[in-house]
Structure 1
Amino acid sequence: MIFDVNLFLVIAMDKTIKRRRGGPRTFDRAQAVDTAMHLFWRHGYEGVSLNDLTEAIGVAPPSIYSAFGSKAGLYREALDHYFGLPGALKDLGEKETLAETVDTLFARAVDAVVDPAGERGCMISSGMLQTAAEHSDLAKELADRRNEMRLAIAGALQRWLPEDRAASVARYILAVLQGLSVQARDGSTREELKEVTKVASAGVQAMIG
């Protein structure tokens, strides 16, 4: 078989021209954020490289920078996406009693950290607890989001408790939620975590009894 160099060059140039005419590769932004969320959720911010993101999303680095500004920008959108998922804090104000509110919150928390459709643990509860100094701004944002969770819990409890008491109980509940996230990442089963929440619910009742 004779290899025609000229023919090869013509074909190669033709492909290059077609790629240029086609423009830059595009992607679904929402799908990209969802993919990034799962990576960050599973491996943490520092455990995910830009190369990991581009391979998973299927685009080149310039597309990431053009759409999100930076890896940190994509992480922030992934956090917003995660924060909008159904979770332990949704619609707590609809419950009839304090005990029902606490039990529902813990039950939803267990479901969230072991949901087969997601990743193990909570992206916010366990996110960036220890990180390099150059990522301190992102770590502070995670801490602020955890504080938002605490305030949301306290707000729900104020239907039955004075403000200062609700704040104290909410801090305890948030500590339990963070513990559930860590244990889920370590491999605890749904049944094991439910046992934890039974004890925690009794602890809350003792605090307010």
Structure 2
Amino acid sequence: MEQVEKSRGGRPWSFDRDKALEVATRLFWRHGYEGVSVGELTKAMGIAPPSLYAAFGSKAGLYREALTRYEETSGSLDAPAIDSAATLAQAVRLLLEGAVKAVTHPDRERGCMISSGLIECQPENAALARDAAARRDAMRERIVNLLQSFAEADDLRRLARHLAAVMQGLSIQARDGATPAELQEIVEDVVSGVAARHPGCETNRFCS
């Protein structure tokens, strides 16, 4: 395999680190952190356990890198599209429709790796659970930032928390087998609610 990085000792890895991380990300995404063992990871990645520890430090280190990879790729928000919206309701629609596409993509695992990551865990994984919760908080802040040109700050905080909860629900329902059409019905209800609470936002970009 292609040697794309070097080990901490300066020697090239005997495996493609990025490809191995991609495989691990899919496994963690599908089964969760506690649902996959080091043995299962190394078998799927095509490496021996010592190579995993040398490259990633630990299973927890590998998981954190997998979460970051997910955030930067499959879990990213389409900021340019949302910023191009003409109204708050349209921005919310673009945000949620993007979430539906992400959690039901036919070539990926179902659901959101961040939304469902380590909601419950063994005590020894509490630090990882806090990290996952912090990433969910960061996602909520990204929603605030994306919508800040559409409404007042105080209202945005409340709306962002609501939208983050909706997105978590979309993720769980997707994992349970809900179709894109079924999830789109939820999107329509949320957008209708936003439009009803902010009637001026149907025609104006900024809502007070």
Q: Same fold (TM over 0.5)?
A: yes
Superposed CA offset, 1:147-202 (max 9, x none): 11111111222212111100000000000000000000111011111111111111
Q: Distance in 2 between matches of 1:105 and 1:168?
A: 16
Q: Larger deviation: 93-102 or 106-115? A: 93-102
User: Equivalents in 2 of 1:86, 1:57: separation in Å?
Assistant: 20
Which of 137, 142, 145 aligns to 2:135? It is: 145
For 2:160 and 2:128, locate their aligned partners in 1 and report how far apart those are by CA, in whole Å: 24
Match 2:121 to one of 111, 114, 131: 131
Instruction: Select which of 18, 21, 26 maps to 1:38.
Output: 26
> How big is each residue's C-alpha offset from its partner over 1:110-158, in whole Å with a ceiling of 9 and x where there is no partner?
0000101110100001111011111111111111111111111112222
Q: Secondary structure at the residue paired with 1:26?
A: coil
**Per-residue CA distance 1:71-113 (angstroms, 9 max, x = gap):** 0000011011100115462213333321221111111100000
Aligned letter for 2:175?
R
Q: Which runs of 5+ in 2 are unaligned?
A: 1-11, 200-208
Q: After superposing the two structures, state which structure 1 stretch, 131-140 or 197-206, moved more.
A: 197-206
AA aligned opposite 1:58 = G
8 Å contact kept, 2:75–2:112:
no
What is the root-mean-square deviation of aligned Cα atoms in Å? 1.7
Higher RCO, 1 vs 2 (CA within 8 Å, ≥6 residues apart): 2
Letter in 1 for 2:17: R
Number of aligned pairs?
187
Instruction: Provide the TM-score with structure 1 as the length reference.
Output: 0.85
2:148, 2:156 within 8 Å by CA — same for their partners in 1?
Answer: yes
Checking the alignment, whether the CA contact within 8 Å between 1:42 and 1:119 is kept in structure 2 is yes
Distance 2:75 2:59 in 1: 25
Match of 1:177 among 167, 170, 175: 167
Question: What's the CA shift for 1:204?
Answer: 2.2
- List gaps (5 residues or longer) in structure 1: 1-23
> After TM superposition, where is structure 1 displaced by more than 4 Å over at least 4 residues in a row?
none
Shift of 1:25: 8.0
Distance 1:81 1:193 in 2: 25
> Which of 54, 67, 76 is matched with 1:79 structurally?
67
Cα distance, 1:185–1:197 mapped onto 2, change above 3 Å:
same
